[in-house]
Amino acid sequence: MREGLHKIVSSEETIVAISTPLGRSGIGVVRISGDEASTIALRFFRSHSATVVLEHRTAVVGTWFDSADERIDEVVVTFFRAPHSYTGEDAVEISAHGTPLSLKRIVESCRAAGARIAQPGEFTLRAVAHGKLDLLQAEAVRDFIEAQTEQQAKMAMRQLEGSISKRIRPIKEKLVDVIAHLEAGIDFAEDDVQVPANASIAQSIRPLADDLCRLERTFDYGRMLNQGLRLAILGKPNVGKSSLFNRLVAADRAIVTDIPGTTRDVLTETVDMDGVPLRFADTAGVRQTSDQVEKIGVRRTLETLADADLALVVLDGAGSIDDDDRHVLEKAAATALLIVINKSDLPQMIETAALNGARKISVSAKTGQGLSDLRDALRAFLLERKTDLADDLVLTNERQHESVVRAGQAMATAVDALERQVPHEMVLLDLYGAVGALDELTGEVVTEDILDRIFSTFCIGK
Ligand SMILES: Nc1nc2c(ncn2[C@@H]2O[C@H](COP(=O)(O)OP(=O)(O)O)[C@@H](O)[C@H]2O)c(=O)[nH]1
Ligand SMILES: [Mg+2]
């Protein structure tokens, strides 16, 4: 079992849970895992054929009874002998009819026989504990289940196959080699062990740091792919933000009127573009106001802007740029932005010369003109963030990103220390730090805190 996990996971405790969603369905599955899995199953299950033996990977048809010997359901039971199961422990899967009532009774019978109800993600946690999956793969299982677009599912599947771990492994191995050389030099200093010159050690670390850097850069895109591209539609009142929002999400979500200050709350809606979720936020118009409710709206707008990946600053093409517009542009200056000049169906009065730099797109939320150009611009924005690696693998969450950054920084510090002729004992501390960060990334070393962060986001029964 992996270091640190034996304290948290014990297969002596057999766990049970319904693994399918609670609702009526053709089939529902209950899963048991742990040392007692087959004993418990044999207590309640009677095969339709004469002999009841649970053979590894063999499905058996029969009846499930409760403790009072009352029939619960006709089921198919499949046994997986450790270590050849999802969890790496003895496991039994019971496929019953998808009736919540009888599925619960099956679970109840197992509980009466000594099994405990599984925590969210506990089956996967056990898979990690028994070395069936590493932490990155466990996260991929969750992402795969949660995937809402085909792209997300594809990326999760690649990570499940170990795309990131495969990339990390050689980096770690080479790092450990460097460490071994340095350690040998320190331990056997009197024996004249040949320690390579600092420059050559630094030379062997640099490409590893570069590799990590390439991996780190995939997070920008990976985060957008996983959590969606956050787009804030911004502008002074009445420029057509809500109309544009409704067009972009292809629904009549936001109220549109010619009364300035109609939108007071932030509305969000997600649509799928080429497999990337676009999370549009329609906001309250930014302007100086004495209206209390509108003031709160403006504050929320600015909060939404702070969280956005890209601001769509909407201007009224039929008017001219005024102080309110300039105020909005100022607020959005710290965010990547795209200027959307709306109302292209009306005679255009706007002077765009003043808007140097930012990309401009002319649209009409009323007629739909220019919307495909706008979508193309969003596509281009995404593409610019997609690094060469991103087709194969991406870091998808903060935890992964943090570990990679930490490992990269430790390596950079080590290289720097070598160049400054700092004693090797100090350099080693950085290199061990880098190895530690990589181990945390893959789950070679785990802490309860990391496990909590990951598995609390799982569903029960997985
Ligand atoms: N002619 C024209 N009118 C528009 C267009 N987009 C919005 N409007 C009108 O502008 C007014 C304000 O629109 P709304 O979407 O509520 O603007 P918001 O305050 O920025 O959310 C409404 O009367 C809309 O019908 C457009 O592209 N062309
Ligand atoms: Mg509005």
Does the beta carbon of 38 lie inside 6 Å of ligand 1?
A: no
Average pLDDT rounded to a whole number, residues 366-387: 94
pLDDT at 11: 66
Please give the average per-residue pLDDT across 123-148, as a whole number.
93
State the CATH class of domain 224-384: alpha beta
**Looking at 58-62, 80-84, 180-184, 312-316, which range is the least confident one?**
180-184
Q: Which of 233, 238, 313, 374 to mutate to test the pocket of ligand 1 (most atoms within 8 A of CB)?
A: 238
- For residue 75, the Cα-to-chain-centroid distance in whole angstroms is 35
Q: Is the CB of 277 under 6 A from ligand 1?
A: no
For the chain, what is the mean pLDDT?
91
How many angstroms separate the CA atoms of 419 and 436, rounded? 23
* Cα–Cα distance for residue pair 328/331, rounded to 1 Å: 5
Please write the tens of the pLDDT for every residue from 89-106.
Answer: 999 999 999 999 999 999
Per-residue pLDDT tens over the stretch 415-462: 999 999 999 999 999 999 999 999 999 988 888 888 888 888 888 888
**What per-residue confidence (pLDDT) applies to 431?**
97
The predicted structure's pLDDT at residue 153: 94
Architecture of domain 145-218+393-442: Up-down Bundle (1.20)
- Mean of the pLDDT values across residues 95-118? 96
Q: How far is CA 52 from CA 61, 93, 108, 307, in A?
A: 10, 16, 22, 59
Q: What is the mean pLDDT of residues 250-264?
A: 80
Residues around ion ligand 2, judged by CB within 5 A, are 241-242, 263
Alpha carbon separation from 358 to 306, 324, 335, 340, 355 (Å, rounded): 18, 18, 11, 10, 7
Domain with CATH 3.30.1360.120 in the chain: 15-134
3-state secondary structure of 337: strand
Which of 15-29, 44-58, 96-110 has the lowest average pLDDT?
Answer: 44-58
User: In angstroms, what is the span from residue 237 Cα to ligand 1's centroid?
Assistant: 9
Class of domain 15-134: alpha beta
CA of 237 to the centre of ligand 2 (A): 7
More confident residue, 14 or 197: 14
Instruction: Rank 67-71, 182-186, 453-457 by mean pLDDT and report only the highest.
Output: 67-71
Does residue 235 line the site of ligand 1, with CB under 6 A?
A: yes
Which pLDDT belongs to residue 204?
A: 94
Parts of the chain belonging to CATH 3.40.50.300: 224-384
pLDDT at 283 over 70: yes
Could you report the per-residue pLDDT of 325-342, keeping only the tens digit for each?
999 999 999 999 999 999
Question: Could you give the residue range(s) of every CATH 1.20.120.430 domain in the chain?
Answer: 145-218+393-442
